[in-house]
Structure 1
Amino acid sequence: MSTSNAQAFPLEASEHITIPRPADWTRQDTEGTDMVLLSPPVRAGVFRPNVVVTSQPYEGSIAKLSTFAMAAALGELTSLHLIACNIWPHPAGDGRQIEYTHQMGNQILHVQRWTFAVDGKAVDVTATCSSTQLTAIDGLFGYLAANIEFLKAA
């Protein structure tokens, strides 16, 4: 995606980050999250791709944080298949990209998580789609993650 597409991606801000939002997606404020970005509605029975941003106080290392994130996913999700946990370089400090699939009902969901330990916070950006949607949406998720910016604490 080129920067000429920037107009199609207005920025959404939480207390800790900004992230581009595809123009046809909507923002939803949901308790327990910093923000949720939702793709346009799809037909009944089809998973609606989304991006969820959460944050919480955290003073530990990114290695420990990514271990917690993977352990939580393994303990909470059905038929989880871990694909990768990679260092995710970022100007604010290295994060981790964790990628996995899991089963929800009769669908296999594909999850990409970008986890950061920055300025005394654990910030988690989770992008989810069905495995059948991944080919169409993978580039978009990568673009959103590559353009996350951290806001300086006041």
Structure 2
Amino acid sequence: MSLADKMQQLVGAPGVIAEIPSCYGARHVPGIARLRIPTFRITNGPVGVGQNDCVPVNTPNLPRAAMMSTASAKATALPSAMAVAASFDRAVAAQFGDVIGVESRNRALHVLEGPGLNLARVPQGGRNFEYLGEDPFLTGAMGVAEIRAMQK
């Protein structure tokens, strides 16, 4: 692997280093075909697949590309994780996880950054909507149901 190849794998923002082809953003690292290193795709995930995360239609070898528009892949707008936890129903958490898992697989994503399992203890926390609440037992029970559904 050349120095330029190594640098390309590290660069996340377009135009940081002029000599290296730009990535699609921090959530998409283009592969190096001659070294058989595949493209690596990440999406934010606590409340569903990010619609603009690393899924350009013209990406080579992207399965199910026909399902995507030219602007970005469409994804389901899901409620906040805390709203799901407020149901106290593991089946609801599993349905939530199932939607996220199916949409992630359909977009050939490699990493899903979710669910958020932090405890929402500080009301002014800016990411509390991503968490399942402040109860550790409820967070664990709902999180397990969601993760199992994502992975099936």
TM-score when normalising by structure 2: 0.26
Q: Which has the larger radius of gyration?
A: 2
Compare the two structures and name the one with the higher helix fraction. 2
TM-score when normalising by structure 1: 0.26
Compare the two structures and name the one with the higher strand fraction. 1
